[in-house]
Amino acid sequence: MSLVEIEDVHKVFPARQRGGEPVHALKGVSLHVNEGETLAVIGESGSGKSTLGRVALRLIDVDSGAVRIDGKDLGTMDANTLRRQRADMQLVFQEPFESLNPRMAIGAIVAEPLQIHQPQLGTTEIRRQVLSTLEHVGLPQSFADRLPGELSGGQQQRVGIARAIISRPRFVVLDEPTSSLDLSIRAQILALLAELQREYSMAYLFVSHDMHTVEWVSDRIAVMYLGEIVETKPTRELFDAPEHPYTQTLLSARLSPDPREPHAYKAFAGHRTVRDAVENQEPA
């Protein structure tokens, strides 16, 4: 059953400079995320994938179209209802350190969603839940009193995950959650996310540019290109039989770590980066 529905969403950002072109970030995007599944959105920089992630949580308002969770339209919700709804929908950021207040103790950071969404809880109960959540994401309880700067990148991302899951959301947007991490740490964080998903049956919208990662973690994949979704398919099917020329190009750029499987990059005619499109340059 679909938990989140995005229907024909358009979003245009105004030009940053006078005389510049407005950026059409989303051009009629539709998708749904089923309960408990991982839908990956894959695309290159500027394809609109991060905008889509933010739109799905109504962190950005849409120009037209609808975003629904549980059948309820986020766009028409009043501020109080939306705020209550947010307990159910959370976000994990790409840069763990940038997303943590450097002056707040880890315990206070992880406690914030509870203080907002369950103000009736006492400090002791909040502390108890914070410590158990830290443990759940693989951090020692003693980290509650540390500052983000004292932690490694992988540990910081575990804090980001703890903060996202403590209010027991059913829907989490993961915006490139592992792309700033080293390879071996990346695998650990992905395994943790998969474990938590199974335990709490959360649905993930996994935004990424990395095809290896996406293939590994997702049930279905939506491919974005210049603000549009060009193809959505179950993961295996997409990798076995990519239909859209852009998907084929993207897959041909995958570099296997096994030298016995050579790659053959194939550009498709007219492939343009967003910058090419915006500035009307011919592709290189």
Partner 1 sequence: MNAQSEELALEVRNLAVSIKTPHGVVHPVKGVDLTVHKGEIVGIVGESGCGKSTTIKGLLRLLPANSTVTADKAQLAGYGDLLATPVRRMREVRGAKIGFVAQNPFGSLNPIYKIERQFYELQKAHKTRVSRKESREIALRMLDGVGIVNPARVLDGYAHQLSGGMAQRVVIALATTLSPQLLIADEPTTGLDATVQAQILDLISGLVRQEGRSMVLVTHDLGVIAQYCQRVVVMYDGQVVEHGSVMDVMVEPQHPYTQRLIASVPKPGEKLDVSR
From residue 215, alpha-carbon distances to 76, 116, 123, 238, 250 in Å are 35, 36, 42, 9, 13
Residue closer to partner 1 by CB (options 109, 211) is 211
Count of residues that bind partner 1 according to CB under 8 A: 46
End-to-end CA distance of the chain: 44
- Shortest Cβ distance from residue 161 to partner 1 (Å)? 14
Spell out, one character per residue from 33 to 52, where the chain touches partner 1: x when CB under 8 A holds, - when not. -----------xx-------
- Shortest Cβ distance from residue 96 to partner 1 (Å)? 14
Q: Which two tokens stand for residue 33?
A: 């995320």
Residue 237 touches partner 1, criterion: CB under 8 A:
no
Region binding partner 1 by CB under 8 A among candidate stretches 6-14, 23-31, 110-118, 183-191: 183-191
Site for partner 1 in 206-225 (CB under 8 A): 209-213, 215-217
> What does the alpha-carbon distance between residue 109 and residue 93 come to, in Å, rounded to a whole number?
14
Region binding partner 1 by CB under 8 A among candidate stretches 56-64, 107-115, 124-132, 179-187: 179-187
Region binding partner 1 by CB under 8 A among candidate stretches 86-94, 116-124, 154-162, 271-279: 271-279
Please state at what angle helix 153-165 crosses helix 183-200, rounded to 10 degrees.
10
Q: Residue 39 is which amino acid?
A: L
CB 156 within 8 A of CB 184: no
- Shortest Cβ distance from residue 194 to partner 1 (Å)? 5
Residue 195 touches partner 1, criterion: CB under 8 A:
yes
Which one of residues 40, 126, 134, 190 is an interface residue with partner 1 (CB under 8 A)? 190
> What does the alpha-carbon distance between residue 55 and residue 11 come to, in Å, rounded to a whole number?
9
User: Which phi and psi (to 5°) does residue 119 adopt?
Assistant: -65, -15
Smallest Cα–Cα separation from 13: which of 278, 280, 282, 252? Answer: 278
CB 91 within 8 A of CB 157: no
Region binding partner 1 by CB under 8 A among candidate stretches 99-107, 113-121, 139-147, 204-212: 204-212
- Shortest Cβ distance from residue 222 to partner 1 (Å)? 16
Residue 276 touches partner 1, criterion: CB under 8 A:
yes
Site for partner 1 in 242-261 (CB under 8 A): 249-250, 252-261
Q: Which residue has the tokens 């529905």?
A: 5
> What does the alpha-carbon distance between residue 172 and residue 160 come to, in Å, rounded to a whole number?
12
> What does the alpha-carbon distance between residue 284 and residue 281 come to, in Å, rounded to a whole number?
9
Q: Which two tokens stand for residue 44?
A: 């290159």
- Shortest Cβ distance from residue 75 to partner 1 (Å)? 31
Residue closer to partner 1 by CB (options 75, 153) is 153
Residue 76 gets which letter from DSSP? Answer: G
Q: Contact residues for partner 1 (CB under 8 A)?
A: 44-45, 182-184, 186-187, 190-191, 194-195, 198, 209-213, 215-217, 236, 239, 249-250, 252-263, 265, 267, 271, 273, 275-276, 281-284
